[in-house]
Amino acid sequence: MKIVNLDPGMPGPGELRIRQTAIGVNFADVHYRRGTAPKHSMAKLPIPFTPGLEGVGFVDAVGDGVTQFAIGDRIAYASASLTIGAYAEVRLFPADRCFILPGDIKDVDAAALLYRAITVQGIIRQCYPVKAGDTILLHAAAGGIGSILSQWAHHLGATVIGTVSSQDKVARAIANGCAHAIVHTEEDFVARTLKITGGRGVDVCFDGVGIAVFLPSLKAIRRYGTMVSFGQASGLVDPIDPIELQHEGLYLTKFSGGTYNEDVAEYQARAADVVQAIQAGVFALGNHLVYPLDEVVHAHDDLENRRTVGSLVLVP
Ligand SMILES: NC(=O)c1ccc[n+]([C@@H]2O[C@H](COP(=O)([O-])OP(=O)(O)OC[C@H]3O[C@@H](n4cnc5c(N)ncnc54)[C@H](OP(=O)(O)O)[C@@H]3O)[C@@H](O)[C@H]2O)c1
């Protein structure tokens, strides 16, 4: 990646021009950059392109037909894959996918949370509606999604068993609300999960890690429990034979932001739910990794080499 000068021009019909103050960095940006995005949901983009799925900033020009926003409004967005391009000081973006950011939510907190929390909203409210008393197995529990999901599930009254790759991530997983943090490089996470649950297994596994953990995780889920796959930081899961699900009668589903956030009304409802959760104090704020925009290469290097906990934010 390198920084270049590019004039985005004036917004077209239905668009805003946004002067950005904070930009979220997501693992999906790494997939796009490396060209390892899952073939069914994310297009391999022709190079050069501008990565980035979420941002916060001020409206500085309004396109024809936009009535809900005015110049100077402070707004945020978490985009779908067709509208990537957030790594910029100024950009154009569809107005119907933006929303006003309440004044009590800081720019950096919003950029750190929104895309991931909108994803988590779909996962814990729709893929598997988490409720008090549930026991959850969550991989990469100290990561960006992991931090948000564990805090939200803990808030809902679930018991979260988190996995992390090193001892130095344990404290963050526990601070996120995990009742147990398993260092899966040192300990068999399936055996430990079964031990914690008295042999029963968890109600649901949320997996954003993919091939390295997917198949063994099925053995840690209770009879008639659910596996929600939502990512593949370690690589795409191989095709699965339904027989793998038969023994315990498991349910398997795959979350995709492209699907769950395609409909604007559904996306806006998820965003509103997330804003409410932020305002209700569900998430710890101010504990994100912040990089200047021109250190974006450094930010990606840290994220893909597993040196980060929580979310990463670029500041122009
Ligand atoms: N489906 C969707 O629409 C959607 C939306 C948002 C995010 N996602 C997915 O959710 C996952 C988490 O996203 P995030 O942005 O919050 O990232 P993240 O969790 O902050 O970073 C990825 C984490 O995955 C773990 N990991 C395991 N194997 C890895 C490997 N080989 N290389 C790198 N990391 C590895 C690492 O944690 P440990 O070191 O503790 O193992 C790492 O910190 C990603 O797979 C992402 O693509 C999917």
Tens-digit pLDDT profile for residues 149-185: 999 999 999 999 999 999 999 999 999 999 999 999 9
Task: Supply the CATH classification number for the domain 15-114+259-315.
Answer: 3.90.180.10
Work out which ligand 1 atom sits closest to the CA atom of 145.
16
**In angstroms, what is the span from residue 228 Cα to ligand 1's centroid?**
14
- 119-256 CATH, one of 3.40.50.1100, 1.10.8.640, 3.30.460.10, 3.40.50.720: 3.40.50.720
Domain edges within the chain: 15-114+259-315, 119-256
Of 44-48, 186-190, 219-223, 277-281, least confident by mean pLDDT is 44-48
Pocket of ligand 1 (CB under 6 A): 26-28, 116, 119, 140, 142-146, 164-165, 169, 208-209, 212, 230-234, 255-257, 303-304, 306, 308
In ligand 1, which atom is closest to the CA atom of 254?
Answer: 1
**40 pLDDT above the threshold of 90:** no
Pairwise CA distance, residues 272 & 127, whole Å: 18
- In tens, the pLDDT along 286-310 reads 999 999 999 999 999 999 999 999 9
Distance 145 CA to ligand 1 centre (A): 7
Dist. CA 47 → ligand 1 center (Å) = 23
